[in-house]
Chain A
Amino acid sequence: MAILRNKHRRFSAARYVGLAGIVVLAACLGYGQTTNSCLDCHSALPDLLGVSQEKFSQDIHAQKGLTCASCHGGDPTSDDPDKAMSRKAGWKGKIDRKQIPQLCGSCHSDPTYIRQFNPSLRTDQLDQYHTSVHGKRLAAGDTKVAVCTDCHSVHDLRAPSDPRSTVNPVNVANTCSRCHSDADYMKGYSIPTDQFAKYSTSVHHEALAVRGDLSAPTCTTCHGNHGAAPPGVDKVQNVCSNCHAFQAQMYEKSSHKKAFESASLPGCVVCHSNHGISHPTDAKLGTGPDAVCMQCHSPGDACDQARAGFQSGLSRLDEAIKSADQVLGVAESSGMEVSEARLGQDQARDSLTKARVTIHSFRKDLVDQDIQAGLKITAKNLEAGKKAMVERNHRRVGLGMSLIAIGIVLAGLWLYIKKTES
């Protein structure tokens, strides 16, 4: 009996292990099965209809738990294509371009819905889009204009903070240029298509793309994103002033503001251009090829004289800073301690920058004030550098005399040794 009982126990144990194995196997097989049957077929379809599992898994919507049916409707739980893509199950098929903003807006304009995923995400994109040139033209029946998916991509849409996103600040200009630099595509809109080419040469592009300064402007910074539109001639300085606040303050009070407004000239753009803004140098105030003043003013007039005064003042301060730097550099490389004067040079450079900003007031008294302040600081630093050089020379003379004295003592000692030993 005992043997039989043991056999029975062995059988029971084997049976339980077997059952457990079947459960684990079934669970493993079940784990691999998808609840989104759309991808089972669409991952095997060619490009236009094809969406791979890998691509969709990169999409922020998929990561937040949304599925194909969230936009396209249908029943993704059914393996039967007829059932999965039945109108009865709410299947919408390919979304019409005209309907895309509305479809995206059905979630993104709902603060209560969006809050559960990202409470800080704005929900006015659709409203803004309706005010944009893109939105207005779409409403008028132009389906060539950009809709949400053109900029944000589709099925692999990433958060703007993701460097791979098409709307990440570093990639925005490229995204816009896909349409705006395509002369064939833009035919009929009568707007230039060289914005991107010009922007690529600009100081803003250099800051953003080369130096990686994400605060530097790209297309959307000046034109807006969802509400994209040209700033308008009289609003240009409002756009630039978002970053260049001091220049804007000076310009606001200047004689140029009224003059430009009355001539319907676009403020900052008149001198600095728009997309291809180059690094502003003092040569802009000159009479050479980079000069801007003389495009409107005549040689010898009061404004030309003021321009010449500004330019000479700036170059005087610039030269003074360079001279002091040079003297301090030599003193420093000679081991002299001139760190305080070096710090002072930064203040002088600040004065030069301030003077260049003050140029936007076009007032000689204000610009002179900054230049004089800078020159005063530079003169002090130059003096410190010269003093350090005099001190260095004193030290060398002192060293020479000490070495001579040491030499004499050494010679004396040697003679004394020779004398005592002889």
Chain B
Amino acid sequence: MSPLRNVRGWLDERLGWEGLIAPLRKKTVPLHGLSYWYFLGGITLFLFVIQVLTGILLLLYYRPGANEAFESVQYIMTQVQFGWLIRSIHSWSANLMIFTAFAHMFSVLFLKAYRKPRELTWVSGVILLFLVMGFGFSGYLLPWNTLAFFATKVGTEITGQVPVIGKPLMIFLRGGEDVTAATLSRFFGFHVAVLPGLTTLLILLHVLLVQRLGISIPPKLEVQWTANPSEKREMKFFPNFLLRELMAWYVALGVLGALAALFPWNLGVKADPFVSAPAGIKPEWYFLFMFQTLKLIPPKVWFIDGEVLGVLVFGLVGLLWLLLPFFESDHPSRTKRWITGVAVFALAYVAGMSVYGYLAK
């Protein structure tokens, strides 16, 4: 008997290893022309793991504080062995993770994978997307550079527009009336403790639900396969799909390495609260569509303040988005076409407004 088999046998005896992985052996993945979209969830998870690992390494040198944060990141970038690589991978991976999370969400939407009984998978996924954006917002401030400082100022100001709870929420986020060292401490806390904790729990729930409910089949195909079971094509999750997923992870790793080596993440100029905001300041790309929308709303719409209206509308849309599966029919042959229309519009709106926001002066 080989040593590997010995170890497996030893573990199986104590942990019931075979019992644990048995469901994975039985698990199958539907095989069709759009199966490659199923990789996106796994790639997002892989990038999250990269984030956790590089984040832990950055924590060895990063010091939160208005007088230390920028210098510590500068030290990481210039003095620490491979510090530049770790930081650049962390920043690039964060952006790629948000991108793949968005792409995963829209693929789920277009493949109608959110339908009964997967409503909770969708809800946990959308909340995860919000958390991932929260990671981006809180992490952006941590290097304490000029752009980050003013982007946080603008971002938290927008939060302050929410009626009734806006102002207290803004003060809670900032740790006072203004963006100061107290804000940096809070954002650091959110970024390395609160958000990772919540995200890990939700990821576990999300993956558990995917495991429990299996992978969804697009409605048309489901009807077709139900009518003619001999047409049904599947692939074993373990090892066939997982090996392909592993290939996707390696590709993601290569892309990350190339981005980090060719375009190391910029450090910028240390934040100075006493200088005026740089002209044309914009948030990170994933907030651009909301930022640009708020910019386009007139100062007064009827009797409501334009920005307040914008924030309220985004809040309402976010809530409806979260509850989207509950508007859908659970029968594969009676899916609601308007939801697909809304998805197309949402995708076009987010992409269009982001490009407009990027190009606008």
Contacts and interface: CB of A to CB of B under 8 A. Distances in A.
Interface of A: 335-337, 339-340, 395-396, 398-399, 402-403, 406-407, 409-410, 413-414, 416-417, 420-421
Contact of A398 (B253, B261, B267): B261
B109 to A, nearest CB: 29
Grouping DSSP codes into helix (H, G, I), strand (E, B) and loop, the B interface class, with mixed when no group exceeds half, is helix
Contact of B240 (A337, A395, A403, A420): A420
B84 A337 contact: yes
Chain A to chain B: the 6 pairs with minimum beta-carbon distance, closest first: A335-B264, A399-B261, A406-B254, A337-B77, A395-B261, A337-B78
A413 B247 CA distance: 7
Contact of A413 (B78, B250, B264): B250
B257 A414 contact: no
A421 B240 contact: yes
Nearest to B241: A417
24 contacts: A335-B262, A335-B263, A335-B264, A335-B265, A335-B266, A336-B264, A337-B74, A337-B77, A337-B264, A395-B84, A396-B262, A398-B261, A399-B261, A399-B262, A402-B254, A403-B254, A403-B258, A406-B250, A406-B253, A406-B254, A406-B257, A413-B246, A413-B250, A421-B240
A409 B257 contact: no
Interface of B: 74, 77-78, 84-85, 239-240, 243-244, 246-247, 250-251, 253-254, 257-258, 261-267
**Of A396, A406, A420, which is in contact with the most chain B CB atoms at under 10 Å from its CB?**
A406
A416 B250 CA distance: 15
A231 B244 CA distance: 87
Given A335-B263, A395-B85, A410-B250, 5 more contacts: A337-B78, A396-B261, A403-B257, A409-B250, A417-B240
Contacts of A398: 261
Given A337-B77, A337-B78, A339-B74, A413 B258 contact: no
B267 A339 contact: yes
Contacts of B267: 337, 339
A305 to B, nearest CB: 45
Contacts of A396: 261-262
A378 to B, nearest CB: 20
B254 A417 contact: no
Contacts of B74: 337, 339
A339 B143 CA distance: 15
A420 B239 CA distance: 9
B84 A417 contact: no
B247 A410 contact: yes
A417 B266 contact: no
Contacts of B78: 337, 340
A406 B258 CA distance: 12
A138 B290 CA distance: 72
Contacts of B263: 335
B11 to A, nearest CB: 23
Contact of A417 (B243, B253, B265): B243
A308 to B, nearest CB: 41
B307 to A, nearest CB: 35
Contacts of A395: 84-85, 261
B158 to A, nearest CB: 31
A417 B250 CA distance: 15
A414 B247 CA distance: 8
A336 B74 CA distance: 11
Contacts of B265: 335
Contacts of A337: 74, 77-78, 84, 264, 267
A175 to B, nearest CB: 35
B111 to A, nearest CB: 24
A421 B241 CA distance: 11
A389 to B, nearest CB: 14
A421 B77 CA distance: 45
A332 to B, nearest CB: 9
A233 B98 CA distance: 73
A406 B262 CA distance: 17
Most interface-central of A337, A413, A414 (chain B CB within 10 A): A337
Nearest to B251: A410
Contacts of B253: 406
A407 B247 CA distance: 10
Nearest to A337: B77
A402 B253 CA distance: 10
A402 B257 contact: yes
B244 A417 contact: yes
Contacts of B262: 335, 396, 399
A403 B257 CA distance: 8
A216 B353 CA distance: 47
B77 A416 contact: no
A404 to B, nearest CB: 10
Contacts of B85: 395
A420 B251 CA distance: 21
Considering residues B257, B261, B267, which has the most beta carbons from chain A within 10 angstroms of its beta carbon?
Answer: B261
A402 B251 CA distance: 11
Nearest to A335: B264
Nearest to A388: B78
B149 to A, nearest CB: 17
Nearest to A398: B261
A361 to B, nearest CB: 37
A396 B77 CA distance: 16
Contacts of B266: 335
Contacts of A410: 247, 250-251
Nearest to A399: B261
Contacts of A402: 254, 257
Nearest to A340: B78
A293 B261 CA distance: 53
A420 B264 CA distance: 40
Contacts of B84: 337, 395
A398 B262 CA distance: 11
A420 B250 CA distance: 20
Contact of B258 (A399, A407, A414): A399
Nearest to B76: A337
A413 B74 CA distance: 39
A344 to B, nearest CB: 14
B264 A399 contact: no
A337 B267 CA distance: 8
Nearest to A409: B250
A209 to B, nearest CB: 25
